[in-house]
Copies of this chain bind each other. A is one copy, B any other.
């Protein structure tokens, strides 16, 4: 056993062995009181034993294992635990017993043990027991077979290249390990916008190729799923129609499922985007969403497969002149009347907000509204509207608020998870970049997704502190300062991007940087309708009536500008610039203030980060520093463009006389 190292020595070692692609599974120089043996029952999967063996070495060094040691880590299956659950407890003889409900449970138990130990938490007397609140915890990749990733900010696809499946086995194993370590148990490897060659992923020729990916993920308890095009029977095999009531289409999907399951016996199912943003679908064929989804569900059902049916459907060819249409209303209006018509292996996949992964939105009223239909909550880990993995943005902070958002009858969304909402999906933020996520600190978002998917009641603070410790070690200065900087980053970004729920002032198409009227006259249904007098959309009962989709108690709160949460004020209300906020400032002055503060906050972040220089491994320090400088440029651009926009529009100066360009 190694002697306990002095803090100084530990830090140097951490920096020296740090590799960005290890992410939160970094080698570290922690100490354990004595060496251990590893024992396991025969039904424990080999991968759990391997990961335990390698993981302990990563944390404590080679000498942690000694076959002659008196104490042991013992791995076992314990059927009395909840599905996928685990218990890790000291065995009273200097060792630790890790029990799993099943194969996955043992794997999760091993990673939980490693997490506890790497975080420096003492294990004696502890009894860590946990099982997932949500049975299906999925990563959605928006990767295309040409190797690019829609809304990807961390390099090309891990899975595809040049129109086909193409991957580095070692890299996929590393990825599967990372995902398993945070409790992910399913993965959709291709984009929901299934176009061109991507459609052929379920062709006879490509299924065996896809199966090679499934084979790797399976080892880590992760089931593979695919996004499919609803018109596949037409596009792949020239059937005359994909109509869900057409016998030919129905049997095509049945045969297709048989084909897929021959190669991927634990295939998780299909993710489907229809009738939206230029996709075909049942609606285009005069059928209901339920009829469309059930056709696929019935083909998958004999094999235990699931249909994740996306609810992100709206009129994307709206006329901006027509203020009677209100895009956030669309999913509820379409799906609520069909509640109860969906088969039991259909999950309606609903984005957290009714708009589209904005910095600030209310929760979708559809979440929890479907009392007789299963739902899947879709979160976006990749930073589409939230900074392109250039700007630091803590999604854990955002999701914590999403889970806390009221769902009626005094319940929060977190209370529905695992119950009415049986599944949770996160859109991946990873690519071939060395550090997986472009911005090294954006690894924290992937980490948080897995941890919160497992248990939506965990706090953003806890999971962020965990990630920092696992990634950068137990350095006190880093442990104290960095989680706080990450956690506050969401608020900072919101200040310069969309205070008061303003939204949609972003550049069209690529969704980074300010363009105050970029969306104002487009067909996307995303308007703020700012004039020289007022701004915002009235979504109350007197306006578009969107608030009516919420339960009465929530609607009441949102209806009144005095009780509506201020960060959502302009999402629900059209107000004059002189409207007085709780702070006593006018709405306009608040917008000015927020944009000035946003830049100051980024400057403070940079200052704080610089103070950590000697405590953070060089590669990570340099790459994060560079991105923080880019973020500062972006924050300044937001500040100046938005402030100038409103100053030009209103003629009202900043009362604190700061610089606004004329």
Contacts and interface: CB of A to CB of B under 8 A. Distances in A.
A648 B651 CA distance: 13
A649 B651 contact: no
Interface in A607-648: 637, 640-641, 644-645, 647-648
B321 A532 contact: no
A516 interface: yes
A640 B321 CA distance: 8
Contact of A521 (B533, B641, B649): B641
A533 B321 contact: no
A342 to B, nearest CB: 39
A278 interface: no
A530 interface: yes
Given A321-B640, A661-B321, A648 B530 contact: yes
A542 to B, nearest CB: 16
Contact of A516 (B517, B532, B662): B517
A321 B662 CA distance: 8
A514 interface: yes
Contact of A650 (B320, B514, B532, B645): B532
Contacts of A649: 531-532, 648-649
Nearest to A659: B321
A544 interface: no
B640 A533 contact: no
B321 A648 contact: no
A90 interface: no
Interface in A251-308: none
Nearest to A509: B509
Contacts of A518: 515, 518
A521 B532 contact: no
A661 B649 CA distance: 17
A537 to B, nearest CB: 12
Interface string A529-563: 11111000000000000000000000000000000
Interface in A160-213: none
A276 to B, nearest CB: 24
Interface string A511-526: 0001111100100000
A514 B522 CA distance: 10
Contact of A532 (B320, B641, B651): B651
Interface in A72-102: none
Contacts of A529: 648, 662
Q: Which of A323, A516, A521, A531 has the most CB of B within 10 A?
A: A521
Interface centre among A531, A644, A647 (most CB of B within 10 A): A531
A651 B518 CA distance: 21
A301 B531 CA distance: 61
A662 B641 CA distance: 23
A530 B651 CA distance: 11
A530 B517 CA distance: 13
A645 B521 CA distance: 10
B514 A651 contact: no
Contacts of A533: 651
Nearest to A322: B661
Contact of A531 (B514, B517, B637, B651): B651
A648 B650 CA distance: 10
A662 to B, nearest CB: 8
Nearest to A531: B648
A641 B319 CA distance: 11
Interface in A487-524: 514-518, 521
Interface string A15-38: 000000000000000000000000
A320 B643 CA distance: 13
A661 B648 CA distance: 21
A521 B530 contact: no
B515 A521 contact: yes
A476 to B, nearest CB: 42
A142 B533 CA distance: 46
A321 to B, nearest CB: 5
Contacts of A517: 515-517, 645
A649 B661 CA distance: 17
Contacts of A662: 323, 529, 531
A164 B647 CA distance: 53
Interface in A105-133: none
A129 B188 CA distance: 76
Nearest to A534: B648
A36 to B, nearest CB: 60
A519 to B, nearest CB: 10
Given A321-B640, A321-B661, A661-B321, A648 B516 contact: no
A111 to B, nearest CB: 47
Nearest to A522: B515
Contacts of A521: 514-516, 637, 641, 644
A529 B641 CA distance: 12
A372 B518 CA distance: 46
A533 B650 CA distance: 9
A321 B639 CA distance: 12
Contacts of A532: 532, 648-651
Contacts of A650: 532
A364 to B, nearest CB: 28
A479 to B, nearest CB: 40
A607 to B, nearest CB: 24
6 contacts: A323-B662, A515-B517, A531-B649, A531-B651, A532-B648, A648-B649
Given A514-B521, A531-B649, A531-B651, 19 more contacts: A320-B661, A321-B661, A323-B662, A515-B518, A515-B521, A516-B517, A516-B521, A518-B518, A521-B641, A530-B648, A531-B647, A531-B648, A531-B662, A532-B532, A532-B649, A532-B650, A532-B651, A533-B651, A648-B649
Give me the 5 closest cross-chain CB pairs, A-B, nearest first: A531-B648, A517-B517, A321-B661, A521-B641, A532-B532
